[in-house]
Structure 1
Amino acid sequence: MAKYDFVVAVGGAPGQGIETLGKSLGQICARYGLYVYTYSAYQSLIRGGHTFLTIRISSEPVENHGDEIDLIIALDRDSIEKHVPHVKPGGALIYNIDDVKQEPERDDIQLCGIPYKKFSSGIEDRKLQKTILNTCLLATAMNMVGADLKVLEEIIISALLKRKGQEVVDANITVATAGYEHAAEHFTGFDAQFEKQEPPLAFVDGNSAMAMGGAAAGVKFYCAYPMSPSTGVLHWMAANARNLNIMVRQCEDEISVINMVIGAAHVGCRAMCATSGGGFALMSEAIGSAAMMEIPIVVINVQRGGPSTGLPTKTEQGDLWQLLGASQGDFPKIIVAPTSIMDGFHTMPEIFNLVDKFQCPGMVLSDLTLSMGFTTFDPETLNWQPEIDRGEYITELDQTDEEYLRYKITDSGVSPRAIPGTPGHVHVVATDDHDEDGGLISDEFTNPHKRRDIMEKRQRKMEGIVKLLPPPTFEGPEDAEITLIGWGSTKGVINEAVQLLNDAGTTANQIHFKWLYPIDEDTINAVLEKATNPIIVECNYTGQFARFLRSETGFKADGHIRKYDGEPFMPHHIADGARELLKGKTDLYVPYQEIVV
């Protein structure tokens, strides 16, 4: 159990600076050495609607947004009406008293009304006065959790002085000081207070973490068409392209994106792109082209609710079978689903080394929960110079009398790959199937023996790939009453559900999958044999991973916990479902989403 575990939520309308408030609080926590995990529930609107940002703060690493809310900062009346019931007893609500006609009805929480109109009356710019309410209420919260106001002042100066000028900085500090001092005089601070830990941490979102991992892996070409919730990868790449010598291009559509990535990879550049399910659908044919030409590429799919346009701002694990069936025909591919925000960073060098070694497409399956969430981390844990394995990669003339065969049939299925322009290594590359030297089989008479040889050659790569992929992790006692099985982004929330079950007297353990495809049946079954009353947990309607696991291994779970309402699991959703399934009255549990945005 963490010494400090505190959840702050911020509600308001788009344009009220909710994201700015959240980032500021995250940066404050980072300077205190505290761990953070954020989740933002928002609507697909440019203006209007409602946003609810949850920020969990802990003395130990956290990988979900928790079950209970200690403090709500309400930037508008709508947030008060919607979310007052969600504050746990003993918690607090901070709000602008000028927004309400009567005090909210809760006698088991502290109601902290701020006379913002009074505090901001000296600011002549009315637009500015309206937009910095978030700063005042954040400072109020800082006093109540024992954070030093000077830290916020430093962040304000750093963020605003060059961009907005001294007047805006002074206005923010004025209202922040007023809110902080008012809280000290009128409100009771929380029993649990901020305490500095070493070392100070950094603050990052999941899309940026994957982009950083790509840069560490040696990516020199990035291409994308903006599509939520993957656009943050493009933003980070564009912002850092010149300093890192990365070529970044925004294309007119995803078909152009994937073909430019293939072209860049073909000439020897580590190249990648990111999209969501709809964009990935447009890329599918070209992914098959990369497989046929044996060109290594990496595609990130950040899942959102589908099908079609679906839920652009909500999460889901609904694209697994889309990636499994990407393009037509059989070909080697690698699919990996990072298990946490920072695992996204560490995964990128791993997937690039694999696709280079085996000359095939690699797909990274993230989702909105991970990619648009923020966390704090120790920068010393990041390896900016990971091992780089380009595989059998020819860049200069080799001294041999052998004719160069680009698709030479080998025992491993991997053929030495020469970069175009390498002297003595002229070869044909095409999307038609071909023989060893690249000659098109269909130009001959579609020789069935050559087709079989080259198909088996490509597919032999899968045998090599699967030997290098780590098996799923197993955590917890082997004699547990129940085993929770998950994949990708649900690892952290399942882990906490296991803790809840164990604390309540139901012994539980966890099996989690990161490397999804290919899988070795014997290796996977050896892990699954440890499961007792196995329950598969996933965020989709049809149980995509459950069906995949059964098709590959024959494994059938005893029960299922599924969520497909656009919101991520909370720990109690899974723990409650596990207890219900243990009763044996049903084999499917779908939790109820309490907080609606």
Structure 2
Amino acid sequence: MISQLSWKIGGQQGEGVESTDRIFSTALNRLGYYLYGYRHFSSRIKGGHTNNKIRISTQPIRAIADDLDILVAFDQESIDLNAHELRRGGVVVADAKFGPMLPDHVDARLFPVPITSIAEELGTSLMKNMVASGASWALLGLPMEVFNKAVEEEFGRKGAAVVAKNIEAVQRGADYVLELAGGPLEDFKLEPADGKQKLFMIGNDAIGLGAIAAGCRIMSAYPITPASEIMEYLIKKLPKFGGTVVQTEDEIAAITMAVGANYAGVRSMTASAGPGLSLMMEAIGLSGMTETPVVIVDTQRGGPSTGLPTKQEQSDINALIHGTHGEIPKIVLAPSSIEECFYDMIEAFNLADKYQLPVIVVTDLQLSLGKQSCEQLDYDRISIDRGKLVEEAPEIEAGGLFKRYELSEDGVSPRVLPGQKHGIHHVTGVEHDESGRPSENAANRKRMMDKRLSKMEQITVEHPIHAEMPHEHPDLLIISMGSTGGTIAQAREQLEREGITTGQMMVRLLHPFSAEAVKPYVEQAKRVVVLEHNATGQLANLIKLHVGGKEKISSVLKYDGNPFLPSIVADECRKVCQASKELV
């Protein structure tokens, strides 16, 4: 029996690849397995190769596997593009309709199943995804009733007849492949899972759930990959809590509406990707100037311009920190797991209110859209901090105004809501005095700039980094952000077995950068590798700027749209260590 297995399904976009993956992984989740999925898809509605890969394990996992055990192929292109991942003795379940052939260099078992023909016999070729998933499920020897339950949940709203037809398609696929293989494959038999209930979601869902838990009640947004699922999730969920989602005409309207709603006292947010973030920059500056809290989610993807809208990248770091015109205080948080996506959204709303500024939560496509198992969330950890929101404003003299931007030691002023008694004041995007009246007075300008920027010195964020340093002076410290944490952890296992001592750091707080948290670890390590999905080493440059250590920092960069694999990370780290030895 084996403790983990990798499964992939490939075909043309619109062929049911996504629904096959969803039902297959849902059934595995019901059994209690840990799962980590990654979607490779084209930037078009229909057509173009797409594949979904799932890693299944009896232990927690946070990375896709280097190799592949089972490939389900709806067309020859899926075999041609993905067969190189198959391990020796792997399996391909392919639609017999196209006469599947394995490349000469691939040592795998091919099971041609008349997937389309069986589906058509049952009434529609649309059911071929059920035939294919039933076949691959049967090869694993897993209980068919669990899979049928997942099918029932998927199609139950369409009626009993549809459910019955799909279950029949599953069984027909299972029966056919078992006859070909002579029964379930013993070398692919998974060890039993722990059976414990786990959450199984994409990062975008966790972000949406975190926003609800934080008290967000308005989301204004414009659809864009890979952020759209946040809006889609909240469209379904927010109305149940008295909230709403507004699909705006563009990203400029989305951010200004979110700023306005926050000014009115409702916790509000927006979400986008790189191109949308560019359009939002002026209004993010408005949030900073008017000291109005707002939360923005940036789901990074391949750029610039339209770039690679459905591919992995982490190239917005400079824009997130420096993108706005002028100088404003802001916070940039980078969660690195599904759980952090949830908890960091709650913290983002609290920080935005506490310091009265924009907070950007940045993910990447792999974290946003990769579906993963996570433990049950702890709702007792949730607390709401509205900062200096004044319940009762003090009386003011006739004709006077509330000092909304009153100078204070920590740079944060008392805040009132529109219409509040004694709270009348000006709000404007131009420079202003303590009551909000426009002012171009030089002395006032300096005081107000100093006031706003002084917030950066006061900001306190717990756990600005996540570090694991089992050795006092490791050969290598690997630093990264976002979705790559699990991949690095697996690569480190390979390196440690070879005698290369390692440490790991995930940078969670990108801005304001916590040099005091990062510096001790950089100083301890003999060499430092900064791993990131961009072409210019933006995270590495940020570390060099604030911490130094240029002479010991190397960059490992990947910007071809594909995620890092553990073996690639291990190989690149070996090269750095070898080069270091040669220099000595």
Class of the TM-score when normalised by the shorter of the 2 chains:
over 0.9
State the Cα distance separating 1:584 from its structure 2 match: 1.3
Q: Could you tell me which residue of structure 1 aligns to residue 415 of structure 2? A: 417
In 1, Cα distance between equivalents of 2:525 and 2:581: 19
In structure 1, what residue type is equivalent to 2:27?
A: I
In 1, Cα distance between equivalents of 2:535 and 2:454: 34
Q: Is the CA contact (8 Å cut-off) linking 1:140 and 1:180 kept in structure 2?
A: yes
Q: Could you tell me which residue of structure 1 aligns to residue 390 of structure 2? A: 394
In 2, Cα distance between equivalents of 1:227 and 1:365: 15
State the Cα distance separating 1:503 from its structure 2 match: 2.0
Q: Is the CA contact (8 Å cut-off) linking 1:466 and 1:518 kept in structure 2?
A: no
Q: Does 1:522 align with 2:516?
A: yes
In 2, Cα distance between equivalents of 1:492 and 1:153: 32
Q: Could you tell me which residue of structure 2 aligns to residue 564 of structure 1? A: 559
Within 5 Å, give how 1:32-43 maps onto structure 2. 32-43=31-42
Q: Could you tell me which residue of structure 1 aligns to residue 332 of structure 2? A: 335
In 2, Cα distance between equivalents of 1:534 and 1:368: 25
1:139-192, Cα deviation, whole Å (9 max, x unpaired): 1111222221111211222221323x3333222111211222233333251433
In structure 2, what residue type is equivalent to 1:305?
A: G
State the Cα distance separating 1:53 from its structure 2 match: 1.1
State the Cα distance separating 1:555 from its structure 2 match: 3.3
Of 473, 477, 483, the residue aligned with 2:471 is 477
Of 364, 371, 375, the residue aligned with 2:372 is 375
State the Cα distance separating 1:314 from its structure 2 match: 0.6
Q: Could you tell me which residue of structure 1 aligns to residue 89 of structure 2? A: 90
In 1, Cα distance between equivalents of 2:202 and 2:507: 22
In 2, Cα distance between equivalents of 1:385 and 1:525: 29
Q: Is the CA contact (8 Å cut-off) linking 2:91 and 2:110 kept in structure 1?
A: yes
State the Cα distance separating 1:326 from its structure 2 match: 2.5
Q: Could you tell me which residue of structure 2 aligns to residue 496 of structure 1? A: 490
Q: Is the CA contact (8 Å cut-off) linking 2:263 and 2:292 kept in structure 1?
A: yes
Shifted more, 481-490 versus 355-364: the winner is 481-490
Q: Does 1:132 align with 2:148?
A: no
TM-score, scaled to structure 1: 0.92
In 2, Cα distance between equivalents of 1:214 and 1:399: 35
Q: Could you tell me which residue of structure 2 aligns to residue 594 of structure 1? A: none
State the Cα distance separating 1:397 from its structure 2 match: 4.2
SS in structure 1 at match of 2:524:
coil
In structure 2, what residue type is equivalent to 1:217?
A: A
- Structure 2 residue runs without a partner (length 5+): none
State the Cα distance separating 1:325 from its structure 2 match: 1.4
State the Cα distance separating 1:70 from its structure 2 match: 0.9
State the Cα distance separating 1:355 from its structure 2 match: 1.1
SS in structure 2 at match of 1:417:
coil
Q: Could you tell me which residue of structure 2 aligns to residue 357 of structure 1? A: 354
1:449-479, Cα deviation, whole Å (9 max, x unpaired): 2111111111111111146563442333223
1:183-208, Cα deviation, whole Å (9 max, x unpaired): 33332514332513131223211111
SS in structure 2 at match of 1:576:
helix
In 2, Cα distance between equivalents of 1:504 and 1:111: 35
1:220-269, Cα deviation, whole Å (9 max, x unpaired): 11010001110000100111122121121000001100110000000111
Q: How many residues end up aligned between the 2 structures?
A: 576
In 2, Cα distance between equivalents of 1:565 and 1:513: 23
Q: Residues 107 and 214 (structure 1 numbering): CA distance in 2 closer, same or farther, change over 3 Å?
A: closer
Within 5 Å, give how 1:506-545 maps onto structure 2. 506-545=500-539
SS in structure 2 at match of 1:418:
coil
1:363-422, Cα deviation, whole Å (9 max, x unpaired): 01111111111012233x242771000101113345799973111111111111111111
Q: Is the CA contact (8 Å cut-off) linking 1:3 and 1:59 kept in structure 2?
A: no
The runs of 4+ residues in structure 1 deviating greater than 4 Å are 101-107, 397-403, 466-469
Q: Does 1:237 align with 2:231?
A: no
Q: Could you tell me which residue of structure 1 aligns to residue 150 of structure 2? A: 155
State the Cα distance separating 1:117 from its structure 2 match: 5.6
Q: Could you tell me which residue of structure 1 aligns to residue 3 of structure 2? A: 4
In structure 2, what residue type is equivalent to 1:504?
A: E
Q: Is the CA contact (8 Å cut-off) linking 2:83 and 2:102 kept in structure 1?
A: no
Shifted more, 90-99 versus 359-368: the winner is 90-99
In structure 1, what residue type is equivalent to 2:71?
A: I
In 2, Cα distance between equivalents of 1:307 and 1:522: 33
In 1, Cα distance between equivalents of 2:312 and 2:266: 32
SS in structure 2 at match of 1:387:
coil
Q: Residues 498 and 45 (structure 1 numbering): CA distance in 2 closer, same or farther, change over 3 Å?
A: same
In 2, Cα distance between equivalents of 1:476 and 1:66: 24
In 1, Cα distance between equivalents of 2:388 and 2:430: 23
In structure 1, what residue type is equivalent to 2:420?
A: T
Q: Residues 586 and 228 (structure 1 numbering): CA distance in 2 closer, same or farther, change over 3 Å?
A: farther
Q: Does 1:143 align with 2:145?
A: no
Q: Is the CA contact (8 Å cut-off) linking 1:474 and 1:512 kept in structure 2?
A: no
Q: Could you tell me which residue of structure 2 aligns to residue 290 of structure 1? A: 287
SS in structure 2 at match of 1:39:
strand
Within 5 Å, give how 1:88-127 maps onto structure 2. 88-100=87-99, 105=104, 108-116=107-115, 119-120=118-119, 122-123=121-122, 125=123
1:256-306, Cα deviation, whole Å (9 max, x unpaired): 001100000001111110001101111000000000000010101111111
Q: Is the CA contact (8 Å cut-off) linking 2:540 and 2:553 kept in structure 1?
A: no
In 1, Cα distance between equivalents of 2:402 and 2:82: 68
Q: Could you tell me which residue of structure 2 aligns to residue 25 of structure 1? A: 24
TM-score, scaled to structure 2: 0.94
Q: Is the CA contact (8 Å cut-off) linking 2:396 and 2:422 kept in structure 1?
A: no
Q: Residues 118 and 253 (structure 1 numbering): CA distance in 2 closer, same or farther, change over 3 Å?
A: closer
Taking only the aligned residue pairs, the percentage that are identical comes to 32
State the Cα distance separating 1:56 from its structure 2 match: 0.7
State the Cα distance separating 1:539 from its structure 2 match: 0.5
Within 5 Å, give how 1:172-191 maps onto structure 2. 172-187=166-181, 188-191=184-187
In structure 2, what residue type is equivalent to 1:421?
A: G
SS in structure 1 at match of 2:304:
coil
Q: Is the CA contact (8 Å cut-off) linking 2:315 and 2:533 kept in structure 1?
A: yes
SS in structure 2 at match of 1:56:
strand
1:414-449, Cα deviation, whole Å (9 max, x unpaired): 11111111101111111111111112112xxxx222
Q: CA RMSD in A?
A: 2.2
In 1, Cα distance between equivalents of 2:489 and 2:121: 50
- Structure 1 residue runs without a partner (length 5+): 588-597
Shifted more, 228-237 versus 133-142: the winner is 133-142
Q: Is the CA contact (8 Å cut-off) linking 1:35 and 1:58 kept in structure 2?
A: yes
In structure 2, what residue type is equivalent to 1:189?
A: L
Q: Could you tell me which residue of structure 2 aligns to residue 579 of structure 1? A: 574
State the Cα distance separating 1:133 from its structure 2 match: 1.4
Q: Residues 352 and 467 (structure 1 numbering): CA distance in 2 closer, same or farther, change over 3 Å?
A: closer
Shifted more, 574-583 versus 473-482: the winner is 473-482
Q: Is the CA contact (8 Å cut-off) linking 1:472 and 1:527 kept in structure 2?
A: no
Q: Residues 28 and 331 (structure 1 numbering): CA distance in 2 closer, same or farther, change over 3 Å?
A: same
Shifted more, 575-584 versus 105-114: the winner is 105-114
Q: Residues 419 and 190 (structure 1 numbering): CA distance in 2 closer, same or farther, change over 3 Å?
A: farther
Q: Could you tell me which residue of structure 1 aligns to residue 313 of structure 2? A: 316
Q: Is the CA contact (8 Å cut-off) linking 2:464 and 2:517 kept in structure 1?
A: no
State the Cα distance separating 1:46 from its structure 2 match: 2.0
In 2, Cα distance between equivalents of 1:201 and 1:392: 38
In 2, Cα distance between equivalents of 1:178 and 1:28: 18
State the Cα distance separating 1:558 from its structure 2 match: 3.0
In 1, Cα distance between equivalents of 2:105 and 2:132: 20
